[in-house]
């Protein structure tokens, strides 16, 4: 991320730097004091001074020595940079969202300078748009356009490379198809001119011609079948390759990549965009070269037989093409609108049906029905209009296709009558003309298909080009003992909005740490950092003295045990779910894990035992049972480091006891981090940390914190009061 924008000469000349002064940061200010967009405004920070340039003129100069507590604020649609100047809170700059991250870094930079240090602040985050050409560059460091590589071409090359022999084979078939198509009319001509119109037609010659024509026609069929077969096969292989690459990339990408996007969008890439490519291969590609080849040969043949007639027959062509293109464009837009209306109606329907319980309990059936009716009617209206449009214009277009042939018949017929052309030649010519217009028509659908495939390829390439993959396989492989150290760790899902700041914590092996704090304080975020799902923006997280970022992902995760609040069980059997931790575990190991987790008994009670199928979210099992399977999974992994996110929902007493007991067996002797709510869990922890306001505000054992009467004490007494009230 750029923190030092280049100033134009005019703006640069407004600032005169003293001897030891150098510019550290220079950021655009894009909102002025009247809340309007502005372009020639910058905030320039040197090691001694802050300059504010507004509308091309130097407006303020502040000595950094007089400043402190620079802070970037994220508001709605804009951000503010404030600084404490000579004790007075001052707004230095206002900016739009695109600069929020930059100003957060620069605020930190200003504070560093103000404290007398001279380090530069740098950001590794990527730009969202190329600073040179303004094009969006998602997830990559280089702008493909400016660096000269044509992404589309290179993507196509990459995809096609392994299949070059198949492509060549298909190309050969295409040429064969072209040849057979073009030879047929020539035979026809020969038949008409030299056989049928002769004084004494020779039967053998006629049959020879017919035989030839038959062979050609049959040949065309075979070649086309072969061509389609191989194209389809190739299309399926290529789209499978792409799906695999995409899925692979999505697995490797950091969690933030997936969380930043809607799941449906990613699903579409893997499923739909690859389908578009397959369909293109099946429908268009296999005919692409054939059509182009035949088209060119067609034109040549026509010009060689009768140039004047050929040119005459070409005349309607441009008009027909333009009209067809316009028609297709209109049709596309209409059907896009229709699809949208259908989508609206379906979404509405899905919404209401899933929420039927709420609809009924508020008695809103009639209004909802009316709403759906409105959507339905709208869809119907658009659909009817589109079908009418199609019904009217499509036949007209087909008529126009024949335009060329009318021209040929008239002028050609005249030529034949005048003796300038033979009948056979005319027939051949007519066939060629029909072919010509047919192929022109076929080609008019290409622009649309090409745009679709280019878009799909681009979207797929977006994901494949993403290169901020955290280290995989090159990391240090270590057996984890369980010592964990946080040093000044800072993290925010958006870097300018930290959720955890300056976390300092040292945990010994085997210690059980309880994490408490008000809702939204950052407990789950701390866990996410521990699990390596996100990386700290600032500061360091170390496991056994090694920076977690340098550890081999796979090895680290295999030694990590996780039991989360929302128990996610995959579609599969209980056995498969427990084995998720170690697919090669034996039955004995699985049963032993289930026993430790107090799950064995209820599994025995299910009709399928360990082979019982549990659906996408652990269908048919109670909450406590699912928790215990998750615990069994964690037990099987035999991890050195455990992460627990305690479920807040209370289970019935028996399940509660069983789950608690299972958890204490699981965590024995292992370093554990638990987001805890229950008094029993809290008392069991060696130390508790209380997170509030992005920081750790209290650390100590349960007894120590109670005695300290701080935030922990308050949280606990509030909880106890609530419980007492609930129990009446």
Partner 1 sequence: MEEKTLTYFESSGGFLGARSGEEEYTRVRAVRLFPFSDPDKYISIRVGSETGEELVVIRDLTELAPEQRELIEHDLELNYFMPVINKIISIKDEYGYAYFHVMTDKGEVKFTINMGGTNVSKLSETRLLITDINENRFEIRDVRELTPAEQRKLDLFL
Mark 224-262 as b/e (b = at least 16 C-beta within 10 Å).
beebbebbbebbeebbebbbebbeebbeebbeebeeeee
The tokens describing 70, both together, are: 């620079």
**Element housing 631 (H / E):** helix 623-637
Considering only CA atoms, which of 234, 45, 2, 16 is closest in space to residue 137? 2
Query: Which tokens hold the place of 190?
Result: 């020969």
656 versus 692: smaller Cβ distance to partner 1: 692
Pairwise CA distance, residues 46 & 22, whole Å: 5
Q: Closest by alpha carbon to 456, among 602, 711, 269?
A: 269
The distance of closest approach from Cβ of residue 679 to partner 1 in the complex, given in angstroms and rounded to an integer, is: 29
Q: Does 346 bind partner 1 (CB under 8 A)?
A: no
Of 12, 17, 38, 254, which lies in the binding site for partner 1, with binding defined by CB under 8 A? 38
265 binds partner 1 (CB under 8 A): yes
Q: How far is the CB of 375 from partner 1 (least distance, A)?
A: 11
Q: Which residue has the tokens 């090669």?
A: 584
Of residues 57, 63, 65, 128, which one binds partner 1 by CB under 8 A? 128
Residue 258 touching partner 1 (CB under 8 A): no
Closer CB to partner 1, residue 78 or residue 166? 78
Least distance from partner 1 to the Cβ atom of residue 262, Å: 6
Rg (CA), the chain: 36
Contacting residue, 60, 157, 340, 709, with partner 1 by CB under 8 A: 340
Q: Which residue among 20, 75, 724, 725 contacts partner 1 (CB under 8 A)?
A: 75
Per CB under 8 A, 455 contacts partner 1: yes
| Residue 521 to residue 695: CA distance in whole angstroms | 8
CA distance 275 to 271: 6
Closest among 681, 675, 677, 680 to 719, alpha carbons compared: 677
Q: Which residue of 3, 7, 31, 345 would you call a contact of partner 1, by CB under 8 A?
A: 31
Q: For residue 239, how far is the Cα from the chain centroid?
A: 17
Residue 136 binds partner 1, judged by CB under 8 A: yes
Burial class (CB in 10 A: 0-12, 13-18, 19+), 64: buried
- C-alpha 494/C-alpha 104 separation (Å) is 10
Does 694 contact partner 1 by CB under 8 A? no
Q: Are 673 and 680 in contact (CB under 8 A)?
A: no
Site for partner 1 in 76-95 (CB under 8 A): 76-78, 80, 82, 88-91, 94
Q: Would you give the DSSP letter of residue 145?
A: T
Determine the interface stretch with partner 1 among 274-282, 295-303, 404-412, 454-462 (rule: CB under 8 A).
Answer: 454-462
Stretch that binds partner 1, among 442-450, 453-461, 543-551, 575-583 (CB under 8 A): 453-461
Distance from C-alpha of 432 to C-alpha of 531, rounded to nearest angstrom:
69
CB 371, min distance to partner 1, A: 12
Is residue 138 a contact point for partner 1 (CB under 8 A)? Answer: yes
- For the chain, the first-to-last Cα distance in angstroms comes to 57
Of 129, 377, 550, 648, the residue at the interface with partner 1 (CB under 8 A) is 129
The interface region with partner 1, picked from 332-340, 364-372, 429-437, 641-649 by CB under 8 A, is: 332-340
What token pair was written down for 168? Answer: 């060549």
Residue pair 675/527 in contact by the 8 Å Cβ criterion: yes
**Part in contact with partner 1 (CB under 8 A); list of ranges 5-13, 129-137, 284-292, 420-428:** 129-137
Residue 627 vs residues 148, 563, 661, 706: alpha-carbon distances, Å: 54, 8, 12, 30
Answer yes or no whether residue 337 interacts with partner 1 by CB under 8 A. yes
- Asked whether position 2 contacts partner 1 by CB under 8 A, the answer is no
DSSP 8-state secondary structure symbol assigned to residue 551: B
Residue 336 within binding range of partner 1, rule CB under 8 A? yes
The SS3 call for residue 268 is helix
Report if residue 683 touches partner 1, rule: CB under 8 A.
Answer: no
Selected binder of partner 1 within 13, 98, 198, 410 (CB under 8 A): 98
Under the binding rule (CB under 8 A), the answer on residue 315 touching partner 1 is no
DSSP reduced 3-state for 367: helix
d(CA 369, CA 510): 60
Structure token pair of residue 574: 């209980």
Q: Which stretch binds partner 1 (CB under 8 A): 59-67, 290-298, 299-307, 329-337?
A: 329-337
Q: Is 35 in the site for partner 1 (CB under 8 A)?
A: yes
Nearer to partner 1, 459 or 600 (CB): 459
* Of 75 and 724, CB closest to partner 1: 75
Residue 459 contacts partner 1 per CB under 8 A: yes
- For tokens 């402190």, name the residue: 68
Q: Is 245 in the site for partner 1 (CB under 8 A)?
A: no
Binding of residue 458 to partner 1 (CB under 8 A): yes
For partner 1, give the closer residue by CB, 120 or 374: 374
Q: Which stretch binds partner 1 (CB under 8 A): 210-218, 262-270, 413-421, 668-676?
A: 262-270
Is residue 157 near partner 1 by the rule CB under 8 A?
Answer: no
When asked if residue 370 is in the footprint of partner 1 (CB under 8 A), the reply is no
Stretch of 127-135, 357-365, 442-450, 585-593 lying at the interface with partner 1 (CB under 8 A): 127-135
Cβ of residue 517: shortest distance to partner 1, in angstroms?
15
Q: Alpha carbon 327 to chain centroid distance?
A: 33
Distance CA 692, CA 694 (A): 6
Can you tell me which of 333, 385, 414, 488 binds partner 1, judged by CB under 8 A? Answer: 333
Q: Is 164 one of the binding residues for partner 1 (CB under 8 A)? A: no
Dist CA 69 CA 84 (whole Å):
6
Please pick, from the candidates 120, 261, 617, 709, the single residue that binds partner 1 as defined by CB under 8 A. 261
x/- map, 267-286, partner 1, by CB under 8 A: -x------------------
- Tell me how far, at minimum, the Cβ of 75 lies from partner 1, in Å: 5
163 contacts 242 by C-beta, under 8 angstroms: no
User: What does the alpha-carbon distance between residue 210 and residue 188 come to, in Å, rounded to a whole number?
Assistant: 8
Contact region for partner 1 (CB under 8 A) — 71-79, 117-125, 437-445, 538-546?
71-79
Of 55, 97, 381, 506, the residue at the interface with partner 1 (CB under 8 A) is 97
Q: Return the number of the residue (76 or 649) whose C-beta is nearest partner 1.
A: 76
3-state secondary structure 298-334: HHHHHHHHCHHHHHHHHCHHHHHHHHHHHHHHHHHHH
Count interface residues toward partner 1 (CB under 8 A).
39
Sheet with 695-700, side-by-side order of all strands: 560-563, 641-645, 671-675, 512-516, 687-692, 695-700
Q: Crossing angle for the helix pair 151-160 and 203-252, nearest 10 degrees?
A: 110
CB of 271 to partner 1, least distance (A): 13
- Residues of this chain that interact with partner 1 (CB under 8 A) are 31, 35-38, 75-78, 80, 82, 88-91, 94, 96-98, 128-129, 134-136, 138, 151, 261-262, 265, 268, 333, 336-337, 340, 454-455, 458-459, 462
């Amino acid at each position: 991320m750029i923190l030092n924008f280049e100033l134009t000469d005019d703006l640069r000349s407004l600032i005169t730097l003293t001897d030891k002064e150098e510019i550290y940061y220079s950021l655009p200010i894009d909102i002025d004091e009247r809340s309007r967009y502005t372009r020639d405004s910058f905030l320039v920070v040197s090691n001694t001074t802050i300059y504010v340039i507004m509308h091309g003129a130097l407006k303020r100069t502040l000595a950094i020595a007089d400043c402190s507590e620079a802070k970037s604020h994220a508001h709605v649609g804009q951000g503010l940079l404030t600084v404490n100047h000579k004790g007075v809170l001052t707004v230095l700059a206002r900016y739009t969202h695109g600069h929020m991250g930059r100003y957060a870094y620069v605020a930190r930079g200003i504070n560093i300078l103000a404290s007398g240090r001279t380090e530069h602040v740098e950001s590794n985050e990527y730009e969202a748009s190329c600073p040179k050409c303004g094009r969006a560059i998602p997830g990559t460091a280089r702008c493909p356009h400016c660096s000269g590589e044509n992404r589309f071409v290179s993507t196509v090359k990459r995809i096609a490379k392994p299949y070059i022999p198949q492509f060549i084979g298909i190309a050969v078939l295409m040429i064969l198809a072209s040849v057979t198509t073009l030879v047929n009319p020539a035979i026809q001509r020969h038949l008409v001119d030299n056989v049928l119109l002769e004084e004494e037609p020779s039967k053998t010659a006629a049959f020879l011609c017919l035989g030839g024509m038959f062979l050609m026609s049959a040949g065309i069929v075979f070649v086309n079948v072969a061509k389609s077969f191989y194209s389809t096969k190739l299309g399926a292989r290529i789209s499978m390759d792409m799906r695999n690459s995409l899925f692979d990339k999505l697995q490797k990408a950091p969690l933030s990549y997936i969380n930043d996007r809607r799941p449906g969008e990613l699903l579409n890439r893997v499923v739909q965009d690859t389908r578009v490519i397959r369909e293109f291969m099946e429908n268009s590609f296999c005919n692409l070269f054939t059509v182009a080849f035949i088209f060119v040969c067609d034109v040549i043949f026509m010009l060689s037989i009768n140039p004047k007639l050929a040119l005459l027959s070409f005349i309607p062509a441009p008009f027909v093409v333009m009209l067809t293109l316009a028609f297709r464009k209109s049709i596309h837009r209409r059907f896009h609108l229709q699809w949208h209306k259908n989508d609206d109606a379906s979404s509405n329907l899905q919404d209401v049906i899933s929420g039927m319980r709420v609809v009924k309990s508020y008695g809103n059936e009639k209004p909802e029905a009316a709403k759906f009716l409105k959507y339905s009617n709208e869809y119907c209206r658009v659909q009817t209009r589109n079908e009418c449009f199609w019904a009217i214009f499509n036949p007209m277009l087909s008529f126009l296709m024949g335009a060329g042939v009318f021209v040929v018949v008239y002028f050609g017929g005249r030529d034949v009558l005048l003796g300038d052309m033979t009948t056979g030649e005319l027939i051949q010519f007519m066939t060629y003309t029909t072919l010509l217009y047919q192929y022109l028509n076929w080609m008019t659908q290409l622009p649309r298909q090409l745009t679709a495939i280019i878009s799909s390829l681009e979207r797929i390439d977006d994901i494949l080009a993403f290169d901020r993959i955290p280290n995989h396989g090159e990391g240090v492989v270590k057996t984890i003992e369980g010592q964990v150290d946080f040093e000044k760790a800072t993290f925010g899902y958006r870097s300018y909005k930290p959720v955890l700041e300056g976390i300092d914590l040292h945990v010994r092996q085997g210690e059980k740490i309880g994490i408490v704090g008000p809702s939204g304080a950052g407990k789950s975020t701390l866990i996410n950092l521990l699990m390596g799902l996100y990386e700290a923006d600032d500061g360091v997280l170390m496991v056994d003295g090694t920076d977690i970022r340098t550890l081999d992902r796979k090895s680290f995760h295999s030694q990590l045990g996780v039991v989360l609040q929302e128990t996610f069980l995959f579609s599969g059997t209980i056995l498969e779910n427990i084995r998720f931790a170690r697919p090669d575990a034996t039955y004995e190991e699985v049963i032993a894990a289930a026993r430790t987790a107090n799950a064995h008994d209820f599994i025995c009670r299910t009709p399928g035992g360990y082979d019982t199928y549990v659906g996408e979210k652990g269908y048919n099992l109670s909450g406590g049972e699912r928790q215990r399977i998750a615990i069994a999974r964690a037990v099987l992994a035999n991890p050195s480091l455990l992460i627990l996110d305690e479920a807040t929902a209370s289970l019935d007493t028996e399940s509660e006891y069983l789950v608690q007991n299972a958890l204490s067996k699981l965590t024995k002797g292992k370093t554990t981090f638990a987001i805890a709510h229950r008094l029993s869990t809290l008392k069991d922890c060696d130390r508790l940390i209380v997170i509030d306001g992005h920081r750790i505000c209290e650390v100590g054992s349960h007894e120590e914190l109670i005695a300290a009467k701080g935030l922990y004490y308050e949280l606990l007494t509030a909880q106890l009061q609530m419980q007492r009230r609930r129990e009446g």
